[in-house]
Structure 1
């Protein structure tokens, strides 16, 4: 049956009374106490998803996903008469329970409509605590905020269309009906139908592929299975002209075939990264590790989807200097995927711990100075974000109040870097060896669970009392959880990350400023031997001191280092935001080109911010209009907030 005919049939059934008319109110978690996540409209304390099965078809012509979502849910209490799910821009055609009853449903629009809609399903009979109930929802997803649909011309191989999804934080509900919250973890299976020769991967293990023919076209049904429960935000899809290259006993790279050789070479140490993090923590539970290098429009540096990490091609620069992102995403296999924050207020539990594991692993593989310099760069990004929010902003704490707003409004480097610094401070109190022992115990204790910082603190205190009985009270008294977690602004302790090279780097930048463009420092060639992160510190110093010089200084630096034409995008975005702030206008065409080369939010957002901060909002708006079809919807949303302040 053709997709359009099936949809029409289901619409007829909808008009016969399955769908209750919409109203301008909604029933969410109001009236319930101790709701673990403000960002879901699901009644997650009444029923909880333990498994889901997707039976879907990806239609590139209509840019839509159509099919069935079957949720296996365990009743947490008796007497529940309706199930609320998270949806966004979904057309719901039919809901059927396990006995074959067609259930009435309705969906309401919260005001303001931040999280999409609430799908209410009205049950034939009230639930009985402990029982498992299955509900199959027939639906269509289109204009999904999680989805980026690329034309063949927007891909490297330029032969097939391409789809990838990005669900963090609250966008999985635009792909299918979910209890879309990190509080809920579920195993899943899926059958995904797609026209040949498009290849599909999900964040699960491929179990088989079956060729079928319908309407005189060849299709493949890809089957997947995840026996390890995951949160909805790490469910993902990639479909297009992609191939897989195995590069280690457990590791593989996936990309378009035109780039696979280059990417595989750049990521040839992936197995070493995995082994290093595993040796530092506990055994890796996911089996294989696959990383997909996405098209340039991918909005993140990396996304830790289990078994299918996504990464921006901006991390591939030819000298392996950008692949620390891969170490970070691997570390998420333990902190983020295996142990997960209960809600988005506690994002630092995912990201701060992962930064700590990343830098501990970097120290082992590349040396202590490498990790320290990276921490300095990270601290600079944290300070930039705090300044943008305002130092007293709620969003500068590790426990931001986000009720009534999109969690992405609070997203920044703060949970990464302030969270990391909190763990480094704890390390300075209890010692590195004991902290490593704690991390292993913590991951084992909370494996496959979701927690908040209160549970984390209680477990940490218990761990210290058991393992440091003699001085536990003294150690615990030195760690002020409340100030670190709940207070806005800079960390309460200045950890003073430093290496021998940092003063030399900043001195070189200051020398250029002192010369005011009239010459180059005698030691200017030292810059050429700096590592990527050391060059980033140099550029950060220039950015922090823009009030002290004019464009002549940047012209001289550009003559010496040709930064305007750098092939490393980590250099480019830092350089271009500084040129905008100072008024080095002759590089404007290169900035325009850069904004159309990458959709990575971390890199393009500061450049747009610089235009807005210098009174050039219209230029920023023009560039966004020019590139919005290239950017992922999440990037467009982020840039719109920069330009319009909302």
Structure 2
């Protein structure tokens, strides 16, 4: 999933979309999925537009005509930075008198439309409506009587938000360009005319034409170890929501982990990725044991260029991952657990609208933590929960009361603004609260049945409430009151009964920190990433330059290769004008585009007039290597 908006202290990376496809643990301050936009990007005065379904972020008239299957035929043009070809939809009529199919688009060039009737394709009329700054432009295609399919010929724009065209110098190899998509939450419409709503699901097939030296992949059942033919065919037999449509093209190599799992990456980083992500097979085994069979054909992972703005994106059968998670010691693999957990929560059972995001990200954050406990032990899982809870506590004061509610009143505000710590960590805490009240055995059985009963469906918060009341609360009377549930779902802030994990290891870190500040040397070589971050995020405000110098020398902070530790350290160094770390600041900001790490560093620089000028100078150099979503947020921080 994707990144979300929080303030320090920040925990390690984990989905997200955070904003997309990432877990709360990887968020930076203050940032919004998936895994994008912060509260200040919310358009509070956005005039309301009537939409035909419960999803206020889609023009699609899926209440009249559904599109249960699409076929894509696209050519990839790196020189022009466009996809061109056509999309073809099979039609399912809910209203037999419907004579129009309405699709969502944004910045697409529509050439022509055809309808398939009585065994023949023929030209049909189309119109483009008025563009809305958030919703895009509705495309209305006329349906002749008896039309079975519709085909739209189009091309994307080089400025499409959902596509990142990475120049060769922005890749690991430096020789070939790279293309990847980011469709969540409502950017599929920037590269496909589509019913762009999580309320609807579809299967798809595709033919993709690429430069012959590059590999083309999609979020589908990719053939293992594909040959470089320049033409690739795909099929996804399982229904997915539109925000999980995914495409990637690059100089890639393949490494099988087992018969249904593999890693794709550029040649120079493939083996490092394999060493880092090898435990994904163990994570898969424990998740199936806990919550039921994996329902997809494959689970492949693709390492993207460093411009990818998020930790990961849970595209079914082809999870996207940032290279910044490759730390060499598996210290940041909670992100891997988060994206895998989405195969059950989010991908298999999906929020019906972005108001219901917590159903995706809260369940995923809960399952992620259960995976980490099963594979790495209870103490590590508890440390991650405690750090996430600290981040949520720090984030809540910066959020409006509306944003603090799980079932958020989103209306037609930018759906990116819903990707805060709340649907991730507050929702995770709600599920741990339920686990505590009903007992793990009972709650596990409920969650497993929930995934089975709603497999390949989208549901609302109200539907979940009804299901929980029937399947969990009523069969176990006296465990949880309706008032408690309503407070969790509909009240801002955290209830008094919110679970607060405490970890003995952090108490030991606090004791060691006190000894260190008293002048006693301490040995942190055996500390986990969580203990190191706890040490850094709980430093006294009056730490001196001499103490920072000693800390850097003893703990090797400025030269660390762990990007989570580095981002925290650089913020501290900037805030205290610790000059030995300043060269690393520019090096970091010009070598990656991951928002969870760079936004807090830019924000720390921008806190002073001199720092702001320096940050703007660095940004000019770094901007060409950033995704458009990254540029938007950093420019907001820098007042550009």
The bucket for the TM-score relative to the shorter chain is 0.7 to 0.9
2:488 and 2:494 in contact (8 A); partners too: no
Q: Distance in 1 between matches of 2:230 and 2:51?
A: 47
The one of 273, 281, 285 equivalent to 1:275 is 285
The one of 269, 274, 284 equivalent to 1:264 is 274
The one of 65, 72, 76 equivalent to 1:47 is 65
The one of 122, 134, 148 equivalent to 2:142 is 122
Is 2:68 aligned against 1:36?
A: no
Q: Distance in 2 between matches of 1:109 and 1:393?
A: 32
Report the equivalent of 2:562: 568
**Offset at residue 284 of structure 1 (A):** 0.7
Report the equivalent of 2:417: 409
Q: Distance in 1 between matches of 2:223 and 2:323?
A: 28
- Matched length: 590
TM-score norm. by structure 1 comes to 0.86
Rate the CA distance shift 1:608–1:73 in 2: closer, same or farther, 3 A.
Answer: farther
The one of 476, 483, 499 equivalent to 1:495 is 499
Report the equivalent of 1:56: 74
Partner SS state of residue 240, structure 2: strand
Rate the CA distance shift 1:611–1:492 in 2: closer, same or farther, 3 A.
Answer: farther
Instruction: After TM superposition, list the pairs within 5 Å mapping 1:244-259 onto structure 2.
Output: 244-259=254-269
Rate the CA distance shift 1:258–1:478 in 2: closer, same or farther, 3 A.
Answer: same
Kindly provide the CA deviation profile for residues 471-528 of structure 1, in whole angstroms up to 9, marking residues without a partner as x: x1x223176222212222234434221121112223444566xx5xxxx642x42333
Report the equivalent of 2:100: 82
2:623 and 2:631 in contact (8 A); partners too: yes
2:357 and 2:418 in contact (8 A); partners too: no
Is 2:358 aligned against 1:348?
A: yes
TM-score norm. by structure 2 comes to 0.87
Report the equivalent of 1:169: 185
Report the equivalent of 2:35: none
**Offset at residue 550 of structure 1 (A):** 4.5
1:210 and 1:220 in contact (8 A); partners too: no
Kindly provide the CA deviation profile for residues 432-471 of structure 1, in whole angstroms up to 9, marking residues without a partner as x: 1111000011001100000111111111111125643xxx
The one of 528, 531, 539 equivalent to 1:531 is 528
Report the equivalent of 2:308: 298
Report the equivalent of 1:104: 125
2:171 and 2:305 in contact (8 A); partners too: yes
Report the equivalent of 2:23: none
2:70 and 2:90 in contact (8 A); partners too: yes
Partner SS state of residue 294, structure 2: coil
Q: Distance in 2 between matches of 1:144 and 1:576?
A: 32
Q: Distance in 2 between matches of 1:107 and 1:587?
A: 53
Instruction: After TM superposition, list the pairs within 5 Å mapping 1:72-221 onto structure 2.
Output: 72-99=90-117, 100-111=121-132, 113-125=133-145, 133-142=148-157, 143-206=159-222, 220-221=230-231
Larger C-alpha radius of gyration, 1 or 2?
1
Q: Distance in 2 between matches of 1:549 and 1:177?
A: 55
Partner SS state of residue 566, structure 2: helix
Q: Distance in 2 between matches of 1:73 and 1:582?
A: 61
Kindly provide the CA deviation profile for residues 106-127 of structure 1, in whole angstroms up to 9, marking residues without a partner as x: 223444x1232221223344xx
Kindly provide the CA deviation profile for residues 73-113 of structure 1, in whole angstroms up to 9, marking residues without a partner as x: 322223333222111110000011113342222223444x1
2:197 and 2:242 in contact (8 A); partners too: yes
Query: RMSD of aligned C-alpha atoms?
Result: 2.4
Q: Distance in 2 between matches of 1:406 and 1:551?
A: 42
- Unmatched segments (≥5 aa) in structure 2: 1-45
Q: Distance in 2 between matches of 1:451 and 1:496?
A: 29
**Offset at residue 627 of structure 1 (A):** 1.3
Q: Distance in 2 between matches of 1:643 and 1:398?
A: 30
Partner SS state of residue 205, structure 1: coil
- Unmatched segments (≥5 aa) in structure 1: 1-25, 126-130, 212-217
1:72 and 1:132 in contact (8 A); partners too: no
The one of 617, 621, 633 equivalent to 2:616 is 621
1:28 and 1:42 in contact (8 A); partners too: no
Rate the CA distance shift 1:370–1:171 in 2: closer, same or farther, 3 A.
Answer: same
Report the equivalent of 2:575: 581
Q: Distance in 2 between matches of 1:209 and 1:254?
A: 9
Rate the CA distance shift 1:489–1:641 in 2: closer, same or farther, 3 A.
Answer: farther
Report the equivalent of 2:84: 66
Report the equivalent of 1:7: none
Report the equivalent of 1:634: 629
Kindly provide the CA deviation profile for residues 126-167 of structure 1, in whole angstroms up to 9, marking residues without a partner as x: xxxxx8731100000122111111222222222221111111
2:48 and 2:412 in contact (8 A); partners too: no
Kindly provide the CA deviation profile for residues 305-363 of structure 1, in whole angstroms up to 9, marking residues without a partner as x: 11100111111111111222111111110011000111112111111111111111211
Q: Distance in 2 between matches of 1:549 and 1:569?
A: 22
Q: Distance in 1 between matches of 2:55 and 2:335?
A: 28
The one of 441, 449, 455 equivalent to 1:441 is 449
Is 2:347 aligned against 1:332?
A: no
Rate the CA distance shift 1:508–1:613 in 2: closer, same or farther, 3 A.
Answer: farther
Partner SS state of residue 173, structure 2: coil
1:331 and 1:357 in contact (8 A); partners too: yes
**Offset at residue 552 of structure 1 (A):** 4.0
Partner SS state of residue 205, structure 2: strand
1:209 and 1:221 in contact (8 A); partners too: no
Partner SS state of residue 69, structure 1: strand
